[in-house]
Structure 1
Amino acid sequence: MSRNPQNREQFRPEGHESDHFLLTTVVGSYPKPKWLNRARDRFEDDDHSFGESEWAEATDDASRVITHEHERAGLDTVVDGEMRREEMVEFFAERIDGYEFNGPVKVWGHNYFDKPSVVEGVEYDEPWLVDEFEFVDDVAERPVKVPITGPYTLANWAFNEAYDDDEALAYDLADLVNEEVEKLVEAGARYIQIDEPALATTPDDHAIVGECLERIVSDIDEEVRIGLHVCYGDYSRVYPEVNEFPIDEIDVELANDEYKQIGVFADGNFQPDLALGVVDAHVADVESVEQIKENIQQGLKVVPPEKLTISPDCGLKLLPREAAYAKMENMVQAAREVEAELDAGEIDVPAVEDVAPADD
């Protein structure tokens, strides 16, 4: 159930040339400048005298650079590429009382994840993202989106040593996320994205995610746009249940599978806005503007233009930075061209009943 179908209009740039408006954004992460990675190595090496103040200056500089890079690409809403974050669970677990770290866990190949443990009841202490948001908001000329790892993923991707089950842990974490969102809103944030990649791997728990979202948005003004990002998975196992989530948009990853699942959502009953991945975050090949325009039109099979947001499939941090930028730039150009063609009546918006259902 959409909280407020009108709150996306606040992100339309002044003097926008087209009557139609496709909101362009990114999911969150972005390649870090190579010098920032070298700075981190020095900061974490006891043999170097690269201290807290030097590291803070480096992350501030990187945040400025990537925020401006997003604006230069033409995005309507920007993120600083999560320059202060390394891993989406670790970052928050380090800031939540009740978590502790016991060393890395091997996840695949030679890749390791510093999987935390919940050893006692989780509690909220200091704000997690308010300073980050205020810095980026001061740097940016365009509206800033704030991605937050969701409570279901924070619970699911940790060892639970304190709660009877992960459901109870997720609900306590949702209350903490609610506190953080309230502080972000007080600081001026108007676009919050809850990242729940774990839902794609355990989709039978959609009811838990729905309850978590209810707790998160409790008492949050409907002018604040709430998005949910769910990474690639079998979306037929969470739809139509996501229609009941208290969100304004759901961001899905369909480009890397060539939109084989677009029919899942094209039943005429899709409720939230659709944030559609139109460039593949997993390959460095840069899609042409024409290809992206075709991908955008896949979204028009599900929602009308006024309910369509354009984004990459997922975070871009694993790509070469030049490729990530080129994908964003082409994505924005494609969106602007589709808007103009919609204005001119050159694009027919298909009726959803004409869309073939996804293969089982």
Structure 2
Amino acid sequence: MKLFTIDNEGKFVQFKEREFKENNKEIDLEILLENNPEYFFENNKILIIGRQVTTNLNTFIDLLGIDELGNTAVIELKRDKTPRETLAQLIEYASFIDNLDYEQLNDIFQNYSGEEVGLEEYHQQYYENGASQNISWNKNSKLVIVAQDISKEIKQTSLYLRKKGIDVYCVEFKYFVNNSNIKMISSDFVVGDEEFIRQKVKSETQLPKTTQDKFIKTLNENGKFVFNRLFDFVNKENLLLRWGSKGFSLNLPFENGFVGLCFGYPPTSVFKQSIYTGFEEITKKVNNPEKVIFEFRTELKKQKNFEKARTNLKWIITKKSETEINNFLETIKKLVERIKSEGLKK
């Protein structure tokens, strides 16, 4: 296949196919796929929850993903031709992933993303699922090979495994560069395309954490108004902000730990520009959590700007309102006093 761009004079400038490995490392392919999974998988979204995930055999999974139904996707990347042992590697990784429950997947996701929000909540927002949709976590696994050249041996063996009921997919990509050093990638399923389209521990690599300054720059004027007031409140009340890759958690520090009170997100997050409650944190760490959460929830519902978000509440920030931010900060202040009086679980 020949690809061209058109210059200012209306002339064709050819893109020439290149070996990806010539000027790129395997980590470059990891980052490309990590940031653009839907383009490699025929517009099917895959939520990446881990990169370089360590197995019990001290080997490393290039990328670990979750599809819309909660099934895992174990992804092995090769920047050139696939060696014979690629499938053996992938099956070994799958044997490890197959034994993971939701809590372990959640640990991998939180370690990788740097976010303290749970995988279930993030997954719902990412796929825009309704609260009523039932997710079966890790019921099945997809085994995915992405390479510039899928060898005929790998294709043949993958097709055999598919006939035996193992979900194996092979994605082949092509890498092009023109004289202006503009780069282009195309991708095609060579094994398992129709099936893929029809179906709906610790990560060694973390996404970089954001900072308060970077976070504020991503906000619109409504967000800056609300979050700057919140950050001033945090400093005044000696509370703790813990930053993730996109947003933050607001925490009440104790001598022997901390309790998450709520989470803040920018417009670029799947949660949109918002504040979410942290009822799970209170349940895990605070004495008499039912009473504490009931009071917290009741106060927020009175404020009208909070709405239901599965088991939590969320405030999508779309306007500047002194009343709304003042009421929210007053509610957080009451929550802090109540948690201090109840104390932490031992």
Q: TM-score, normalised by structure 1?
A: 0.27
| Larger RCO of the pair (alpha carbons < 8 Å, separation 6+) | 1
Over alpha carbons, which structure has the higher Rg? Answer: 2
Q: TM-score, normalised by structure 2?
A: 0.28
**Which structure dedicates a bigger proportion of its chain to strand?**
2
